[in-house]
Amino acid sequence: MIYDYGTQVTCTAPGDGVGMTVSTDSIDLTAGGDGVPALFGHGERLYMQFEVTTAFGAPEGTPRLLFGPVISATQTIGVEGHILGLTGGSIAGTLAAGTCGYDESELTLGRTFHMPIPSWEDVMEEDAAKWPHAHTTVTLANFRLLKWLGIVIYNPLVSASHFFAEGAVSARIVKDPTTANKSNLYASRMGVK
């Protein structure tokens, strides 16, 4: 199998008292495409595949984690990024007082899980100053600056009582989660002749 690491990002677990970590690297969605990040791909449903590369362990309390793709106008993703969605996991405790997310038993080395990458405009409805809500050349140009894709790991129980001391994931864009381990990644910038 050939991996194009240009379409892969990594992220480590949020630690003691940290609510969220963001990948230190990001994917340029315009590379090898038509130059419009919101339109990358060919109209097909694409997925973010998360793979546990370091088992999540040494928990304090009973932490839970959610994972999701995030887009940004800057290569180093920060507070201006837009989280496109978060993964599920399982429900813990009662519905009234419980939490959701993946626990330690679900985050073992090699475990993979997938999330459909939603359309940008479906997620950004709260931001009416951005395209497609404001159909101007300026808002469209600003929207097209959102060309960097990374991931976040979110701890809904952020406190000194619930966290993982170790753990990491890699994430990549895939076309078909049922064959992703066989057919490899989507949008490779390499060719074989």
Higher pLDDT, 95 or 26: 26
pTM: 0.80
- pLDDT value, residue 127: 63
Give residue for tokens 């007082």: 97
In order of their start, the domains of the chain are 5-183 (2.60.120.1110)
pLDDT in tens, 65-116: 999 999 888 899 888 788 888 998 887 765 556 778 999 999 999 999 999 8
Higher pLDDT, 37 or 69: 69
pLDDT in tens, 150-173: 999 999 887 778 899 999 999 998
Give bridge partners of residue 113 from the DSSP assignment: 50
Residue 147 and residue 29: Cα distance in Å, rounded?
Answer: 5
- pLDDT value, residue 188: 47
Please name the residues in contact with 166: beta carbons below 8 A apart, sequence gap of 6 or more: 13, 54, 55, 56, 57, 58
Higher pLDDT, 130 or 60: 60
> Is there a cis peptide before residue 132, judged by omega within 30 degrees of 0?
yes
- pLDDT value, residue 153: 96
pLDDT band at 192 (very low <50, low <70, confident <90, very high): very low
> Residue 175's CB: how many other CB atoms inside 10 A?
18
